Each structure stands twice: as C-alpha cells, then as structure tokens.
Structure 1
Amino acid sequence: MNEGKNTQFVTVQELRVGMHVHLDLGWLDHPFALNSFRIGSPDQIETLRSLGVVRVRWDPERSDTAVLAALTAPPKPVYQMTPAEVAEAEQRRLRREQLAAQNASLAQCERQYAQANRTFKQLAEQVHAQPLESREKSQALIDGFLEALAGKHETCIRLLTEVAGDRASFHSVNVTVISMLLGRAAGLSEQDLSDLGIGALLHDIGKVDLPDRVRWKDEHFTVAEIQFYQEHVAHGVNLARKMQLGVGAAQVIAQHHEHVDGTGFPQRLSAERISMPARIVALVNRYDNLCNPQNPAKALTPHEALSLMFAQMKSRFDAAMLSAFIRMMGVYPPGSVVQLTDERYALVVSVNSARPLKPRVVVHDARVPREEALIVDLEDEPQLGIRRSLKPLQLPKASLDYLSPRQRVCYFFERARESAAEGDGLAA
C-alpha cells in the first residue's frame, strides 16, 4: 500500500487519535491487524507507546482534518494579567501564608494546653499513692511554662478553641496560665513565679478528696454542703505536706480563697497576712469561675466578668493587683464578643499584655469563608476600634454561626509578634 507523499515522522508522545500511522515493524512485532491504519482510540496510542519505538511515520493527507487543524493552529498567546489581577493574586498568596502561620500558632498552643491538662490529670490521680512523683510532674510543667515566659519578649494571651478534658484540669491550667502572666507583669522574682505556678496548678488539689457533687460550689448548697466544700482547702494543705511542696506554693493552696478584706475562708485572713502569689491566684480563680461556672447557662463573658469584679468585688482583692489584671487582660479580654466601630461583629482571640487596648480579633466577613478567616490586629488598623461588648446571643445568627463563641473560655500564652518599632530596631 502506497503512503501519501507528505509522510512525516512523529514521536510516540505526540500521537493523537485520528492520525494515520505506518509502523516500520514486522507483523509479529505489533498486535495490530495492519502496519498502516488510522488511530481510533487512546488505548491504541498506549499500545503504540508500549512497543518500544521512539517515533513512527504518519500521513497528514490520510489523517482526520481535526488533527491537522490542531497541529497547525498557532499557539495560544500566554495570558498576561493586569496590574490589578497581579495585586489581587499577591494578596491571596499573603493571605494563605498568614492563615497558615495563624493556624500553626494556634495548633501549637492547643497541643501544649492539652499536654498540660493530661499532666494535671495524671498527677491528681496519683497524688495520694505517689505524692513526690506528683510534685515532680508539677515542677516540670511549671518549669516549662517559665521557660516559655523567659526573656524580654512580649507575650499574648491566646483564646483556644473548644478543648477536651474534665473541668478540674482545664480550670487548673487556666488559672495557672493567667496567674503566671499576671505575676510576670507584676515583676515577681523567678522563685516567686515558680511558687505561684505550682500553687496555682495545685490550688484545688484538695478536691480529689471530695465527692463529685460538692467539688464545685453551687448557689443552692445547704450550710452543711458549703462547709463540706470549703474543706477542700484543708485537704489541699495536707496533700501539700505529703508532696513536700515549698512554703510559697503551700501558702497559695492554703490561702487561695482568702480575701484582703477578711471575708474569705478558711481563716478570714486580712491583706497583710496573705502572700502575694495567693492574692494573684484568688483573683484569677474568681475570674475563671465566673467565665466557666458549673452551669454554662450562668457563664459571664470575659468582659462582664472583669466589669463585675471591678464594680462589685474589688474590696475582696488586692487593689493594685486587680488594676494590673484589668490592664493585662484589656477591657475586652480574649473570648469577648464585640461590635467594631465599622458595625461589624468580631471575637477577641488574643491580647498583647503590653498593649491591651488593641487586641486581635476574628471579624465576621460574609465574603470570606469561615475556615479562611484571618485574625485582624487592631493595632494595625488605627481607624478601627471596638464600640461595645455583647453577649453571644445578641449576635445576628449569621455572625453567631461564623464566630462560634466558645462555651469554655480557655487560655494559653504565645509569643507576641514584633511591633514595627521592634522590627526596625532588630533590622538596624
């Protein structure tokens, strides 16, 4: 059979359905009925490529016209993006990078928080059988926290997502994290910070000796149940002796329910007889119990809890420490639901304790998928601020679903990003 005058060669990688090809092979060297045929399917192309030949002859005159048109068509011009499209693509790239960094930082905080919860649960379960080992676990955990707080870098208070675990564990870790941040802000020495951390972690350790029904104070307790509940302090002091804790940590356990006005328990101590670490833990303990009560329906927002403590309870707490606490947490602590000055709704997720008036927030933006929502640093938005705090149920449903305020307010600390001034100084 004569081939067309325009027979050409093509590599097997360039073969297409509709090409008329001629195989320069013996009949036994390929599975096709003829040496010359028009390719009818992708399977035939795969078979041709499996024969081990590099190229084959094809006849354009006997091939489909569509193949010729495709092969002879000029290449499509490469699309050139407009300057606006280039800028938009760059913004998307930066957004992806920021979102990845944001998620990585949160994931690290949540891993560390979960590990701290597990450590507390383990030491609480073995405190009677192995008190010295429980002390060692407590010290190791607090040493890790101290290492994270060491240095001159600024630290953020970070709101976490919903955290699994029992209430005793996350309450103890919450109180420890915030107490140590407050102690650091107050200028406590490293030894006092260590005592504060261990005392805060173990402040409720005596509750392991109470029945479940009286471990968390309830407004409906009888007089007998209140007395039963208050005995957790004495149980904690007894365990502190078995664990051979230092005096500073043991004082926190003994005094974390004392008030500077003498109305606390069990000894009704006045201000001068309460250690500074114990004053800090008493303050933070009350804050966390207001935000995370036994009955979630009675939970206050972080903003409400601070406002209530300042307006109605300030006589119970060290005045200077309460002021320092409010400065550190900010007017709108992490976990607060707020409305911004541009009317949008947001959730405060992080506060830099050195610059608390400009927290970082997640903003409800219907144009941005919830899983891609970026944290907005109000410090970078001079024209944007917080107008008011809200209860979650005051949010429009779309904002409530998007922001998903946490039922439990759980905190950890993370290193703050550098301010522009700090960045310039390092660059110099």
Structure 2
Amino acid sequence: MAVQYIPVEALQPGHYVSALDRPWVETPFLFQGFEITSHNELETLRTYCRHVWVDCERSRVAVETASRPEATCSDLAPLKRQFKDGLEALGQAREMALDACTRVNTRLRKYSQLDLDELAPAVTELHTQVTAYPQVARWLLTLREHEDTLAEHSVNVCTLAIMMGQALKMETWQQAEMALGGLLHDVGKLCLPPRLLSKQAPLSSTEWKQIQQAPVYGHKLLQDCGLHPRVLTMVRNHQERLDGSGFPDGLRGEQIEQPVRVIGLVNAYDAMTMSRPGFPAMSGYRAMLELARQAGHRWDPELVQSFVLLMGIYPAGTCVSLDNGSRAVVVDSKPEARLNPIIAMRRGNGAKTRWNLTDLSLPRHPRRIRSLDPPDWDHSRLMRFISDQLLAA
C-alpha cells in the first residue's frame, strides 16, 4: 500500500485519508479511514490536524509528491535548567509536606488532634515552589514513591488545588484554604478499618456505606482543631457531585461551592491515575477523557476546561507511541500546542536505552503522536530514571 504523508493544506476531495497526526477519538470523524467527499470535511481536517497520511491507491485524485519536513532544532536548555532547579527545590518542598502530612495523620489517628502550626510551614513552602516551577510540579505528580499512599495522594491533591487556584486567578487566601483543604480532604479514611481500604474484591453494600461516611468522619475529626469553616466544608463535601450522585449528603448544583468543586475534581483525577488494590492506574490522558465525558453532569464544565488547559490533553508522564514507532513519555505541554507536547523520546533498548528531549510543537518537526500506551509496569521508576538521567542532567 502506497501511503503519502502530506500537510492538510494539500488535501483535496477524492483523497483517501488513512491516518491522522492525532488519535481518531479526539476528532468528529466516525470512521478510521475515509475518502474526502466535501469541503466541510476538508475544513474539519484543517481544524484538527496539521498532517495526515493519504492512501494513494484508494484515492480517486492523484497525490502530489511531498517530502517529509525536516525538524528544526530547538534550544531546550532553558527547560532543562528549570527542571534541574525545580526538581531539587520542589522535591524538597514535597518531602517536607509529605513528612508533615504523615505526622499529622499519625496524631489524628491516635489522639484526634491537629497541630496547624506544624502544617502551615509545609503548605506555605509547597505553594511557593509550585508557583515557581509549575512544569516540574506536573511532572512530580507522576512519581509514586512514598510508602504512605494516603499522604502522597493528599500532597498531590494539595498541589493540584494550588495550581487550579492560580489558573482560576483566585485570591491568595483562597489558594491557601484550598491547599489546606486538599491536604486534609481524606483524613476521614483514618477512621475506617484498614482492611476496607485495601480490599481488592468488590465492596458489599454495607462496606460501601462505610466508605461514604469517610467525609463525615473527617469533618468530625477536624471540627475542633481551629480550621476555618470553609476548609471543613471542603473536607465534608469533596465527594459531592453536580448531579446529586455524590455523598454523603447528595448535594447538587449551586449547593456545592466552587472551592469544593475544585477539590473534588483534582481528587478524582489523582485517584484515577494512582494504583490501588484491585484498580490499576489510569493514564493521565484517559483520566482527562473520563472527566470530560462527565462534564456537565458530575463535574463543572468550566472547571474541567480549566483543568485540561492546566494539565494538557496529554498530561506529564503519559506514555505514547510516535508515528515512526518510537516510544516516548510526555514531559510538559504548552497551552497553545496541547496536541504536540514536549516529550522524552526513547532510543535503544536495555542498557543502551537513552531518552532524548524534543518539542513536537516546532513548526517543521516530523514526528507526531500516533497512539497512547498503558503506563509502564514500574511507571514511577521510569519517571525517576528520566528525571535523574535527562531532566536533571
């Protein structure tokens, strides 16, 4: 089969498009492979794609010979410098927050007491470093290395809440409250039997009712600890949904305040992208599709849109295959080029494996994302290897 790679500007009715430079599911086209029959289809292709593959044998119109564009070199040194500085500074801030969260959880579990003075410095430092290094913050969310998974999840939700607060241009005090709400949102799980949280088999109706009471337990655990009522509301209501399908109170619509909606959204994203007993991790891309599918029902559509702009269609850490068969991992995305992110591209195998940093958004870069791969069997180890060997080099 003779297949020609051409820019969408060179397409004509009668050309048979066999592949796109992006996944088919991200376009309005129902079939994977079709003949262009109208100018409307041409305009749609030009809206969604930059290049396509045309099957010359199945086309009714001749395909002009076009050479594959050459890549333009990009100076990615500033990005690498930012990652080198950020991995150290933000990494230390995350460890500080993780340690503080672990200590607080231990105290709450044993004595039902919270020392806000212990949490405040950690939250403040995390806020400072996330603000300084947002690209690095997105990358570090992919590293699942802490033994205390509850603390790690809490710090991730705290980080995402800070980033969303900034994306939404919230006041600093609102960002601080959401950061604290994100860090403490799941403390009610400390009151549940550990076997319930680690159970791999489906939960019984009785067990599910226990799980649904976790936000209530968290609210009770914290209500005498000096927290602002708005933070307590985030803890109690972060599992509520716009359509009333959430818990524990079945709130809906405007009954759920915006900061609570933010915590609920970023909590769901991080939960979907982490491995749990009986639930393998979902890729960031698949998690984004799931959130988008439920926008307007379970989730605030404007918040989902803001979250996609913040994280990218291919969030950091997403494993992909390129159109030449190479494997790659997404490092970061630019808002203006969400379909063509910065990636670490794999070269070689085994001990000879190397990862090269490249920017797919360059005007004449020849490579495009062809498909998504499931997360590596030891995804955190892969992310750490890329961090140490490439980004921090």
TM-score for both structures, normalised by structure 1: 0.63
Aligned to 2:348: 366
Deviation at 1:107, TM superposition (A): 4.2
1:180 to 162, 165, 176: 162
1:251 to 208, 218, 233: 233
Trace 1:64-213 onto structure 2 (pairs within 5 A): 102-103=83-84, 105-127=86-108, 129=111, 131-133=113-115, 135-150=116-131, 155-156=135-136, 157-159=138-140, 160-213=142-195
Aligned to 1:80: none
Once the two structures are superposed, residues 170-199 of structure 1 have per-residue CA deviations (whole angstroms, 9 ceiling, x without a partner) of: 111111111211121011111111111000
Could you tell me which amino acid in structure 1 is paired with residue 284 of structure 2? P
Could you tell me which amino acid in structure 2 is paired with residue 405 of structure 1? H
1:316 to 283, 298, 321: 298
Q: Secondary structure at the match of 1:131?
A: coil
- Contact 1:172/1:204 (<8 A) preserved: yes
- Contact 2:157/2:266 (<8 A) preserved: yes
Distance 1:110 1:148 in 2: 9
Could you tell me which amino acid in structure 2 is paired with residue 113 of structure 1? R
Distance 1:183 1:336 in 2: 24
Aligned to 1:25: none
Q: 1:215 to 1:162 in 2, by over 3 A?
A: closer
Deviation at 1:136, TM superposition (A): 2.1
| Stretch moving more, 366-375 or 235-244 | 366-375
Deviation at 1:370, TM superposition (A): 6.2
Q: CA RMSD in A?
A: 3.5
Aligned to 1:424: none
Structure 1, unmatched stretches of 5+, are: 1-90, 394-399, 411-416, 418-428
1:338 to 320, 335, 343: 320
Once the two structures are superposed, residues 256-284 of structure 1 have per-residue CA deviations (whole angstroms, 9 ceiling, x without a partner) of: 00001111101111121111111011111
Q: 1:95 to 1:300 in 2, by over 3 A?
A: closer
Structure 2, unmatched stretches of 5+, are: 1-72, 385-390
Deviation at 1:350, TM superposition (A): 2.9
Q: 1:192 to 1:325 in 2, by over 3 A?
A: same
Distance 1:140 1:193 in 2: 15
Q: How many residues align?
A: 309
Query: Is residue 2:245 matched to residue 1:263?
Result: yes
- Contact 2:112/2:221 (<8 A) preserved: no
| Stretch moving more, 193-202 or 268-277 | 268-277
Once the two structures are superposed, residues 273-304 of structure 1 have per-residue CA deviations (whole angstroms, 9 ceiling, x without a partner) of: 11111101111111111111413663211111
Could you tell me which amino acid in structure 1 is paired with residue 103 of structure 2? Q
Trace 1:25-40 onto structure 2 (pairs within 5 A): none
- Contact 2:348/2:354 (<8 A) preserved: no
Could you tell me which amino acid in structure 1 is paired with residue 379 of structure 2? P
Q: Which has the larger radius of gyration?
A: 1
| Stretch moving more, 368-377 or 208-217 | 368-377
Distance 1:274 1:405 in 2: 35
Q: 1:173 to 1:369 in 2, by over 3 A?
A: same
TM-score for both structures, normalised by structure 2: 0.68
Aligned to 2:379: 405
Q: 1:113 to 1:244 in 2, by over 3 A?
A: same
